[in-house]
Structure 1
């Protein structure tokens, strides 16, 4: 029993050190080192769209936090990756979207990646691409983040992480349309997943690590 407690405390301290080092530095962080592959995680994201529970509700019974990642930026990117590809770096979907975060080739070109084959084989590059794309989207949506975060649209409270997740799904232009139409213009991807759904599903994560950058590149 004592041995098990000591192991748990050691694991917890190790994770805290990793998180502190990751977010206390302004330098680029290689998030591929922190993959949750093989771990049994309790994601904050449900497997369906059902239910009306507010993701920002104070009732803890309505919110499931991973004991490892919680609502951190690493938790955000891993939850998004889990939804996109099951966290599989080598996944290619039926529409040709690539990797752990399911990037389209046009988006990759905008952040400096032109070799899709190399991209698919390089987990570190995929992690850099995710951060670069989020930084670029945050710059494009900076005014909308300022104007809409905290407001309620279609029954959900708008958060920065929800906006960035929706931009990853649909592109920043479609997120602008959704917000500025107060939810009337609700883009859906080829599988029927909407901007509204991502706004709700990825609400309330800490994305302060992402800095707005018009010229963000993965390479």
Structure 2
């Protein structure tokens, strides 16, 4: 709400200045308004990313960084040990985490999640053209792709996209790529 109010205020200032200001003053004021709008846009995307990360954590573990599920994924974002090792967190194992959760605190888990998101986005970069398409009744979004790749990996997400949703793999708990694409489609991460 605050962002919209500030945006409308900037537009109001901009339109009133067009009528009353000499060109140089207008250009300076316009530059300040542009900086303010850029700042607001960055803030918006940062807040959306934080909201996405928190909601993903809530869906995975109710935001419990100590959580271990029945198939051996652990932490707030339910990492598989093999995923963590691929990301360079070789010292973190399920056995060690059970014994001492302090070896993988929430802050480190968040770094692992951010790394995983970067890796998945790199692996999915050639699939950006699907964004905006509708597959099995769900509009494909960047946030939906990130969540789907978190659930089943970039490979399963690619197969889902290429098959038009027919290759809809599920994790061991029964959650499908389509489920995560639908559930996490409404975050503005563009």
Query: Under a length normalisation based on structure 1, what TM-score does the superposition of the two structures give?
Result: 0.61
Distance 1:207 1:135 in 2: 13
Of 142, 148, 153, 2:125 maps to: 142
Q: Unaligned regions of 5+ residues in structure 1, if any? A: 1-8, 10-19, 30-68, 209-219
Distance 2:71 2:106 in 1: 21
The answer to whether residue 173 in structure 2 is matched with residue 197 in structure 1 is no
Matched residue, 1:108 = 84
Matched residue, 1:160 = 142
Query: Larger C-alpha radius of gyration, 1 or 2?
Result: 2
Deviations 1:107-157 (A, max 9, x none): 10111001223694211100000100000000000111x220000000110
Deviations 1:146-180 (A, max 9, x none): 22000000011000100000000000000000000
Residues 1:135 and 1:120: Cα distance change in structure 2 (over 3 Å): farther
The answer to whether residue 188 in structure 2 is matched with residue 206 in structure 1 is yes
Query: Superposed, which structure 2 residues align to 1:7-46 within 5 Å?
Result: none
Matched residue, 1:185 = 167
Query: Under a length normalisation based on structure 2, what TM-score does the superposition of the two structures give?
Result: 0.70
Matched residue, 1:130 = 113
Deviation at 1:185, TM superposition (A): 0.3
Deviation at 1:204, TM superposition (A): 2.5
Deviations 1:184-214 (A, max 9, x none): 0000011110000000000021334xxxxxx
Distance 1:137 1:166 in 2: 10
Aligned residues: 143
Q: Which has the higher contact order (CA 8 A, sep 6+)?
A: 1
The answer to whether the 8 Å contact 1:120/1:126 transfers is: no
Between Structure 1 and Structure 2, the one with more helix by share is 2
Query: Superposed, which structure 2 residues align to 1:14-93 within 5 Å?
Result: 72-93=48-69
Distance 2:64 2:149 in 1: 20
